[in-house]
Amino acid sequence: MISLSDLRRFKKEGRKFSCLTCYDASMSKAMEVAQIDSVLIGDSLGMTIQGHDSTLPVTVRDMVYHTACVRRANQHAFIMADLPFMAYATTNDALKNAKKVMQAGAQMVKIEGGAWLADTVASLTRNGVPVCMHLGLTPQSVNVFGGYKVQARTRQAADTLLQECRTLVEAGAAILLLECVPAQVGKEVAQAFPETPVIGIGAGADTDGQVLVVQDMLGLTQGHVAKFVYNFMSTQSGPYAILDAIKTYHHAVTTNIFPALEQTFQIELK
């Protein structure tokens, strides 16, 4: 099974790594066969599995259930799990809820926010819980942002994001995940932290890893499709089309074919 040490080694070697969201055993097994490097049991399941219009209704109990399902079927990938909305409002909440998802099979928890979570990150790390920090566009805060918008669009905002990343890494964050930021910002963050893997989703091609929601990369998204999404099912056919699409995604990420220019935000920072 891939470990956090392996992801750090991949970064040191310049080897890109793949990540997909996953919520059930059958898809988890397909990702194992396709050799996906990391899977994320995301609170995106609130929309993709439960039919909500945001991630906010997802509970810790939901995350524990889906994490256990994914873990049983996959002995290859590094497994991360989200702590959902308000599950880490206090340090005690974070410790209590991280314990539940880690015991269900996660190897790392992911939380959304900025430097204000440094104490929480430090406490989790001290207690043996590796932390992935999700910055940029953080869906749990969509009501604060006023919608799904590109973040860090100016030089000042990008510098603020970099400083927040630095504070969180110093507190113990083991992985950074950047969503919906200009490609230049993704590159700067990845270069600023040589020991810390950086995963991107809509953060350009220069991050160390890439993640997509699996339903998005399989072309199952209805309505608006984000700029950073590519439908890997569009070139597949036959009885193993889904597995072939996942394999194609893994190859495209690890060979730096994906994301291409058209899936990135090319914004000049001023």
Which sequence positions are flagged as catalytic? 179
Closest CA to 176 of 143, 211, 228: 211
The pairing of beta strand 17-21 with beta strand 175-179: unpaired
Torsion angle, alpha carbons of 93, 211, 171, 120, to 10: -10
H or E segment and range at residue 34 = none
Contacts of 231 (CB under 8 A, 6+ apart): 216, 217, 218, 219
Cα–Cα distance, 228 to 267 (Å, whole number) = 14
Distances (CA, A) of 138 to 89, 134, 258: 15, 7, 22
Cα–Cα distance, 112 to 115 (Å, whole number) = 10
Cα–Cα distance, 174 to 124 (Å, whole number) = 11
Angle at alpha carbon of residue 268, lines to 263 and 270, rounded to 5°? 150
CB 24 within 8 A of CB 222: no
